[in-house]
Chains A and B, each alone.
Chain A
Amino acid sequence: MRPDSPSREPAGDPGVLRSSTFRLALVWGVLIWGLTASALWVARGIEPADTEDSIRPEVESGVDEVLAELMELQLEHFEGEPGGEEHGGEREDPYREGYEEDPDHDKDPDHDGDEELDGDEELDGDEELDGDRESFRDHDNGPDEDEWVDDGAMPPFDPKDWNRDRLTELLHDAEGVRHWLLEDDHCWQLLGADGLWLDGNLSSTPASEAESRWVVPGGPRPLVQVVGVEVDFDPAEEPTELATARLEWDSMLSDERGHCLLQEVRLGDGSKLRLGRPFDPPHLQPALLATVALLLLGLGAAVGGSYGIARRTVRFVGDLRRTRSRLEGEALPRMRRPGDAGDFDHATREVNAILDVLGGALGSLTHVTDNIAHDLRTPLTRLQGQLDILRRSEGPTEAMLSAVQEEADQLVATFNALIRIAQVESGQRRQGFRHFDLALVVADLGDLYAPAFADRGMPFACRVPGNPVERHGDPDLWMQAFSNLLDNALKYNDEGGAVELELRAGLRPQLTLRDRGPGIPASERERVFERFYRAERHRSRARGAGLGLSLVAAVCNLHGAEIQLEGDDSGEGGLLVRIQWPPP
């Protein structure tokens, strides 16, 4: 029993709520995690084309296309055609179609400065990706176009803006840039020590969203416009250290958007080289949308379900607490069952079953303790009396001393019996198990007890099979158990009454012992196995602690054997003890 008072925790107190809230949070967490995982899995399963793997080539191809269009633009510049004027309504199509219809356009011998791109195979394979381009082109980039278009006096385009050789040269000088494999879709810019733009196809990088719209300083037409900057663009402090920032760039020409990862490296003369390469931003793809939708759906379900669970949990915990507080009373209470055959009903049933077992154990413990106190008080009182007599007598006689000795021996025997029962019941004696011949044990028993029965004038018959009855167990324990039964027969049998002991072999050997004593009434046959229990009509007939049959029952139980007491209540009386072993 717990000493703490139940009043300290009234029903529905914050402690219980807190713990149930914590458990709810846990349940939620698991639910949400599970839903997210399954939603993602479902989304991937449904639309494999939209998974990350397919996004990257899409973006890359988009960038490729931009470059291809830049080529076109460059060529147009060389031809003296201001490309911006074409941007009225069907701007994209002429470019794209022009490119597609004439893929060798850039190899036109009339055009100078495009050698860098001659060998680029990727440009030839763009056709396959056209289908996805529309989604990028829906974006309205009008104001920039207007600004750019309005800027009437355009300086001639300088191809060095994205001059590969120049960049290669710069990279060669830049320490710390050893693994930059230059691709045509890379963007770059060179800033002087004063921070002013010197070179590159990126004219500037904005420090904030506010500066995201810009025009190339000094007039060159921007090839790529950076329209947004990721939160922390952190210029390198060390000359060789690369800082990274994510920029969203915007092509003035194709109206396409992309992202590039910008890295900065300081050059020896204080100037800065910024390099950008495309990367995949986390697109809000259909798969992702589906995931989010599923997630929200699941969340709703989880919230709804959790509320129900929470209410039932709180009620269940309240029931538990009330039952526990009643546990501190006298009798063991039982929990009220919801009766709906649900989880809580099962839990309640289990709790009640535990209470049943505890109640039984507690009852038997109380009973045994009472009995030990009671049954040992009598011999101890006798012992005290005998010691008193000894003290007052002038010289203790041998008989007096023997009586004291006998009393003490009886007490020790009772304790030994109690401890032996406890050992047998706890299964400790199982370690003494071995193979033995049960027939031999019973024969030895008959041999040991035959003279005692003969002395009392009781005909005694012991029948055992001629062949060994092999069993696994503790023969000493069986000897003790059988001898307890025969001791009872010696004590309680009627004078001259026959006693028959028989062992029958078989898959399930059986031992029977029959006497002609008063027997045990059917109503008491279960109770005689309890410790210290002595059948009413036996009390006057013989001394005994009432532990003999308890040990027999414990030994039978240890070996998996069944013991039964039978008798004819109306007829000649007598007791039939039957022990049946399990199959080996």
Chain B
Amino acid sequence: MRILLIEDDLEVAGYIQNGLRESGHTVDCCHDGRDGLLQAAGGGYDLLIVDRGLPGLDGLALVKTLRGAADGTPVLFLTALGEVDHRVEGLRAGGDDYLTKPFAFSELLARVEALHRRRTQAAPTTELRVADLVLDLLTREAKRGNDSIELLPREFALLEFLMRHAGQVVTRTMLLEKVWDYHFDPQTNVIDVHVSRLRRKIDRGSESPLIHTVRGVGYVLKGPP
């Protein structure tokens, strides 16, 4: 994936750049809003990571300008701790996701890959399939092989999200935001409890579990290699 990182803090930029490169992405870096806009307008990027507070041109204006020019490249906003929560404002300006500093790199990586996936899977679908797990989005039925699985509405939503991001790490915060639609930090493992319940329903009795825990980061749903 070709990623353009627009971040004025050299240390943070270097840290993100290295991490993304190690994950197999190509990363260009700009440290100034105006340069970033020119570079981004040059096109060819799959994703933009844009800091909100940039010299030259602030991140919000940069993305608005790009969107005004009908550039639909996915944008992940970064914002410094202590700033007012401008998440809604950022998303309204055309950002696709929002991450507050400091963040674990794994969180950033998970979100970057989720954004990329969302773009490549834009086509509407009625059925999700991972290995022998099938989720029918119209009848809202789940099947593992020939066994039908009874799911509560929230469990269905959780499984749908995991299946849409199959093979991709999703963090607990991402699940809370995308499945429950709240932005807050639970101090206890409430999300883990939900995932393990779902896992019991999906993977019970199966020799090849689909839902895997990624220690310190989150979960990934994937079929056997």
Contact = CB atoms under 8 A, between A and B. Distances in A.
Nearest to A449: B190
B185 A409 contact: no
Given A412-B102, A432-B85, A479-B184, 18 more contacts: A398-B215, A402-B216, A409-B104, A413-B185, A416-B185, A417-B185, A423-B84, A444-B182, A448-B186, A448-B190, A448-B194, A451-B197, A476-B182, A477-B184, A483-B186, A483-B190, A491-B188, A548-B187
Interface string A390-406: 00000000100110011
12 contacts: A398-B215, A405-B104, A405-B216, A409-B216, A416-B100, A416-B185, A417-B185, A429-B85, A444-B182, A451-B197, A475-B182, A544-B187
A415 interface: yes
Nearest to B104: A409
B32 to A, nearest CB: 27
A416 B197 contact: no
Contact of A415 (B81, B154, B215): B81
A43 interface: no
A479 B190 contact: no
A77 B104 CA distance: 123
Interface in A471-515: 475-477, 479-480, 483-484, 486-487, 490-491
A431 interface: yes
B187 A487 contact: yes
B84 A452 contact: no
A203 B224 CA distance: 134
Given A432-B88, A451-B193, A455-B193, A484 B216 contact: no
B82 interface: yes
A428 interface: yes
Contacts of A483: 184, 186-187, 190
Interface in A195-233: none
B146 to A, nearest CB: 27
Given A451-B193, A548-B187, A419 B182 contact: no
A86 interface: no
Interface string B174-197: 000000101111111110011001
Interface in B87-117: 88, 100, 102, 104
A479 B183 CA distance: 8
Interface residues of B, number: 24
A487 B104 contact: no
A447 interface: yes
Interface of A is mostly: helix
Nearest to A405: B216
B102 A451 contact: no
Contacts of B194: 448, 451
A409 B106 CA distance: 12
Contacts of A412: 102, 104
Contacts of A413: 185, 187
Interface residues of A, number: 37
A430 to B, nearest CB: 10
Interface string B136-164: 00000000000000000010000000000
A419 B215 CA distance: 27
A484 B182 CA distance: 14
Contacts of A455: 193
Contacts of B85: 423, 429, 432
A548 B184 CA distance: 13
Interface string B182-221: 1111111110011001000000000000000001100000
B184 A480 contact: yes
Contacts of B189: 452
Contacts of B193: 451-452, 455
Contact of B84 (A431, A449, A544): A431
Contacts of A423: 82, 84-85
B81 A476 contact: no
Nearest to B189: A452
Given A428-B84, A432-B85, A432-B88, A448 B185 contact: no
Q: Which 9 A-B pairs have the closest CB atoms?
A: A480-B184, A451-B193, A487-B187, A405-B216, A452-B193, A479-B182, A428-B84, A487-B188, A476-B183
Contacts of A451: 190, 193-194, 197
B132 to A, nearest CB: 26
A68 to B, nearest CB: 90
Contacts of B184: 476-477, 479-480, 483
A461 B156 CA distance: 23
Contact of A490 (B102, B185, B188, B215): B188
Interface in A98-119: none
A487 to B, nearest CB: 4
Contacts of A406: 216
A342 to B, nearest CB: 46
Contacts of A484: 187
Interface string A430-454: 0110000000000010011101100
A417 B81 CA distance: 11
Nearest to B102: A412
B157 to A, nearest CB: 11
